[in-house]
């Protein structure tokens, strides 16, 4: 059974820092991995999707990498801003029609 | 505006009540999902519909009853719920059920008293 872990559960950084959010999964036979953002009281917004054949994806100040063999993904946020404060969730799927397995998320606070 | 609209945003119901959650997507997607998000727990998939047909029921108790009349609308009918069912219920859609990016609604915050 796939398990997804995100540590730490919460992180507080000053504005302007480059930071890395970690995600680990137990079964390396994944189909793809997604990173989501969730603002308080809102639904999830898809940030980046990495297929199993890819090593990384980039969108603006965000870069997500995938290392299947070690069961790890990282979300890199460059020059963090207070508006980046949110919960970031990682989710993996094990097949084309397989459900996503989510981590519990990392709650990020960027201090002005 | 997420393209996926959920109503109501908040719902308080007693254990003997019957209520329904509604989800509507305007994205032309063919797959729709119900997820449950409880405090301190990962998101849990409840149901998946593909072209109006239910393709997954993730061992959800029968007091939760989904309905998908067409590819744009999804309902979750609730009856005789328990306090532990209190959670944020999220609807999502995707172009296909092949893990193309999910688009989520803002959820219904349900409190069972």
The per-residue pLDDT for range A36-63, each reduced to its tens digit, is 999 998 899 999 999 999 999 999 999 9
Selecting from A32, A36, A103 the residue whose C-beta is nearest the C-beta of B99 gives A32
Say whether A43 and B55 touch across the interface (CB within 8 A).
Answer: no
Decide: residue B104, CB within 10 A, 0-12 exposed, 13-18 middle, 19+ buried. buried
- Per-residue pLDDT at B2: 66
Query: How far apart are the CA of A76 and the nearest CA of chain B, in angstroms?
Result: 20
C-alpha angle B91-A53-B4 in degrees, rounded to nearest 5: 15
Count the neighbouring beta carbons within 10 Å of the beta carbon of residue B101: 15
CA distance A18 to A56: 17
Selecting from A32, A49, A97 the residue whose C-beta is nearest the C-beta of B97 gives A97
Terminus-to-terminus CA distance in chain A, angstroms? 41
Q: How sure is the predictor about B99, in pLDDT bands with cuts at 50, 70 and 90?
A: low
- Per-residue pLDDT at A99: 78
Residue A24: HSE in the Cβ half-sphere, 13 Å Cα cutoff? 5
pLDDT tens digit sequence for B9-26: 999 999 888 999 999 999
Say whether B42 and A43 touch across the interface (CB within 8 A).
Answer: no
Provide the CA A75 distance to its chain's centre, in angstroms.
Answer: 5
DSSP letters spanning B53-95: EEEEE-S--TTEEEEEEETTEEEEEEES--GGG-EEEEEEEES
Query: How far apart are the CA of B76 and the nearest CA of chain A, in angstroms?
Result: 17
Residue numbers of chain A with a pLDDT score lower than 50 = none
């Amino acid at each position: 059974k796939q398990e997804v872990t995100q540590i730490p559960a919460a992180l507080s950084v000053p504005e302007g820092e480059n930071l890395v959010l970690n995600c680990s999964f137990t079964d390396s036979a994944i189909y793809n991995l997604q990173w989501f953002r969730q603002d308080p009281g809102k639904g999830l917004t898809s940030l980046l999707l990495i297929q199993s054949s890819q090593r990384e994806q980039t969108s603006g100040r965000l870069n997500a990498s995938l290392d299947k063999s070690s069961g790890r993904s990282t979300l890199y946020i460059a020059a963090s801003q207070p508006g980046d404060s949110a919960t970031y969730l990682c989710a993996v799927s094990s097949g084309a029609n397989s459900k996503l397995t989510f981590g519990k998320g990392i709650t990020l606070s960027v201090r002005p | 505006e997420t393209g996926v609209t959920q109503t109501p945003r908040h719902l308080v119901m007693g254990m003997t009540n019957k209520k329904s959650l509604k989800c509507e997507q305007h994205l032309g997607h063919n797959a729709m999902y119900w997820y449950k998000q409880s405090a301190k727990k990962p998101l849990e998939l409840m149901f998946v519909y593909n072209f109006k047909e239910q393709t997954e029921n993730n061992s959800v108790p029968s007091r939760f009853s989904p309905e998908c009349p067409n590819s744009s609308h999804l309902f979750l009918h609730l009856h005789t719920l328990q306090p532990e069912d209190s959670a944020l219920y999220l609807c999502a859609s995707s172009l296909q059920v092949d893990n193309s990016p999910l688009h989520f609604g803002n959820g219904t915050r349900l409190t069972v008293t």
